[in-house]
A and B are shown apart, each in its own frame.
Chain A
Amino acid sequence: MTGLKLTRFMPSSRPVPPPPAAPGDVLAEAEGVRVHLGGRPVLDGVDVRVRAGELLALVGPNGAGKSTLLGALAADVPAAGGVVRVHGRPVSHWSAPELALRRAVLPQAASLSFPFAVEEVVRMGRAPWAGGDREGEDDAAVAEAMARTEVTGFAGRPFSALSGGERARVALARVLAQRAPLLLLDEPTAALDLRHQELVLRLCRERARAGDAVVVVLHDLALGAAYADRVAILRSGGIATDGPPAEVFAEGLLSEVYDQPVEVFPHPRTGALLVLPRRAP
C-alpha cells in the first residue's frame, strides 16, 4: 500500500481488475460515516453494508441523506468521520482508474457539454478497460447495454436531441457497459415512464442475481418493495432501519419517517407488498 501514491503518477502502471466476488462478499461498506455539507451535518454516523448478489434500495424523505450516502460510497463526497470501504479497502486508498474497475455510478442528472452520439456516450463507459485484457468485450458490452435499456433504436442520434427519459436510459446504458461489480444508481427511475421504471429495476435485479452488488436510491416505495432484496430507510442523516422490505415496511415507521400517513397491505391477487399514502376517500 506504500507504493500506491507513487504508482498514481506513473501512467504505465495498469490498474488490475478485481477478482470475481462470491455472493455475500461485502463490496462496499460505510462505518460510522459522518458528512458535513455547508457546515450542516448531512450524514451522522451511518453504517451500511452492500453485498454481492444483493439489490439494496435507499429510501427516505427529501433531505434525508440518500444521495449523500451514495456519493460517499462512490468516493465523491469525502467523509468527515468514519470510513468508507470499497472492495475491502478505504476509498481514499484507491486510485481513480482502480475505482473505475470496481464501481459504476449513475448521477442524478445526466448532462453533456458536446453533442456526442448516443452510441459514443455508451462507449465512454468502456474507458476504464482501455488497453486491458478485456478491451475485446467493448463492442459486445456496448451493444448489450444499449439493447437492455432499449436505446439501440436511437444509437446514432446526438445525446442533446433526446428527451429527459431517453437521456436517463442512455446514462444507465453507459453505467451498465462499464461492467463494474458494484453499481451505485441515484434515482435511476426518476425521469422514466411506468414501463421503463419496471425495466430498469428488473435490470438491476438481474445484475444482482448475476452476482453484482447494486444500490439504488428510490422514491417509489412500491418499486422498492417489489424489487429490492434489502431496504435501508434514511431519516435526517441516519439509518432508521435496514432489512428485507417485508420487515422494514411497517405502517407506523413509514408514516413517522415521511410525516404522512401510509398504508401497507398485500396485493389482493399476488400477495405482494403495496405501499400507498393514506388518502381521504
Chain B
Amino acid sequence: MTVLDKPATPRTPADPAAPRARRTTAWLLTAAVAAGLLVLVPVAAGTGAYPIPVGDVLGSLLHRTGLGGTELDRVAESVLWNVRFPRIVLALLVGASLGCAGALMQGVFGNPLAEPGVIGVSSGAAVGAVGAIAFGLNFLGTWTVSVFAFASGLVTVLVVYAMSRSGGRTEVVTLILTGIAVNAFAGALIGLFLFFADTAAVNQITFWQLGSLAQATWPKVLAVLPCAALGLGLAPLYARRLDLLALGERPARHLGVDVERLRIVLVLVIALLTAAAVSVAGVIGFVGLVVPHLLRMAAGPGHRFLVPGSALLGALVLLAADLAARTVAEPAELPLGVLTALLGSPFFFWLLRRTRRRQGGWA
C-alpha cells in the first residue's frame, strides 16, 4: 500500500472533462426541470374550460397559504381547488412515481429496456385494481384499490424477475418475451373480471384502463400519497448501490453490496411506485422508459442524479401530457394513457432498433 502512496503520480486525471461536465449538466437539468414545474403548475391550473388568469391562480394560492393574495369568486375557487389542483397534484405524483420506477427497474434488471408497462408490472398491478373495482371491494376504504394494486404488482415484479434472469443477467429478448407473456395473462385476468362485473363497474374499468386523471379528487390524492411518498423517499437511498450493480452482481458484492437485500428492497419499492400510479390513473405507459433515457443521454448513467431526476422530469412530463390531453381536443378529453403511448411507443421502437444494432442481432 505504501508503494501506491508515492506522491509522484498525478493527483488529477488528465481528462476529467466528461464526468465533471456531466455533473454540471445534472445541476442545470435539475434547475431547468424545477423551473419548468414552477411555470407549468400555475399555467395548468389556469387552463381549461373555465380559464383563470395565472395571476389569479397565484393570488388564490397565496391567499390559501396565508401569505396575502386575494380570494377569487366562488366558482373560480371551486374549479381551482376542487378540480384543477387535485388533478395537478395527482399528475405530479403519478409522473414522479412512473419516472422513478422506470429508473429503478432499469438499474435492478441492468437493462435499459425494463419499464413497468413494457414488462407487464403495470398490467399486473391493474389486475388487482380491476379485481377490487369489479367485485366492489372497499373494506379498506379509499386505499382498497391501491392495496390490491400493490399486492398484485408485487407478485408480478417477483415473477418477471425470477423468470427473466439467468446466470445473474437479464437478456433483452427474455425480458421482452416475459413482458408479452405477463401482459397476455394479466389481460386475460382483467377480461375475466370484466365478464363477472356489472355494467357500471365495466364502464368504470374500461375508462380507467385507458389511463386518465379525469376522476381526480383530494381523497384519491390521499389514497396514493403513502405509496408514492414512501417509494420516492426510499429510492434515492439506493442510488449508489445501483451504480455498483451495473458492474454485475458479483463485482457489486465484492464492493460490499448486500445484493440479495438490495434486490428485495428495490423490487418492493418498484411495486409501491407502480401501484401508486396504476391504482388511480390506470396503465400509463412509456413515461418510465422515455424519461430515464433522456436523462441518461444528457447527464450520464449515475443513479444519484438519475433516480431523483427521473422522478422530477416524470412529474413535469406527465403534467404536460395531462394538460395536453385535456386541452387538445376540447371540450372532449383524450385519455392520458393513449397520449403517452402514442408518443412513447415510437421511442421504444427506436430504442429497440438501437439496442439490437449494438448487440448485433437478438439470437
Contact = CB atoms under 8 A, between A and B. Distances in A.
A156 B12 CA distance: 12
Contact of B256 (A97, A117, A141): A97
Nearest to A114: B301
A156 B1 contact: no
Interface residues on A, range: 35 or more
Given A96-B256, A124-B247, A128-B255, A119 B11 contact: no
B294 to A, nearest CB: 14
The 9 closest A-B pairs by CB, nearest first: A100-B256, A156-B18, A114-B301, A113-B110, A97-B256, A155-B13, A210-B3, A147-B9, A156-B15
Given A116-B243, A130-B240, A140-B11, A100 B255 contact: yes
B256 A15 contact: yes
B51 interface: no
A73 B17 CA distance: 38
B1 A152 contact: no
13 contacts: A96-B256, A96-B257, A113-B110, A115-B300, A117-B19, A121-B247, A124-B247, A144-B9, A153-B15, A156-B19, A158-B18, A207-B1, A210-B4
Interface string A129-154: 01000000001111111111000111
Contacts of B258: 8, 95-97
Interface residues of B, number: 40
B301 A143 contact: no
Interface string A244-280: 0000000000000000000000000000000000000
B12 to A, nearest CB: 6
Interface string A153-177: 1111110000000000000000010
Interface of B: 1-5, 9-19, 22, 110-112, 240, 243-248, 250-251, 253-259, 296, 300-302
A70 to B, nearest CB: 12
A127 B240 contact: yes
Contacts of B16: 119, 155-156
B301 A115 contact: yes
B301 A105 contact: no
A101 B256 contact: yes
Contacts of A142: 13
Given A99-B256, A121-B247, A156-B18, 18 more contacts: A76-B250, A96-B253, A96-B257, A96-B258, A105-B251, A112-B247, A113-B245, A113-B246, A114-B246, A114-B301, A116-B243, A124-B255, A147-B10, A152-B13, A155-B16, A156-B16, A210-B2, A211-B2
A107 B256 contact: no
Most B C-beta atoms less than 10 A away, residue of A74, A97, A117, A157: A117
Contacts of B111: 113
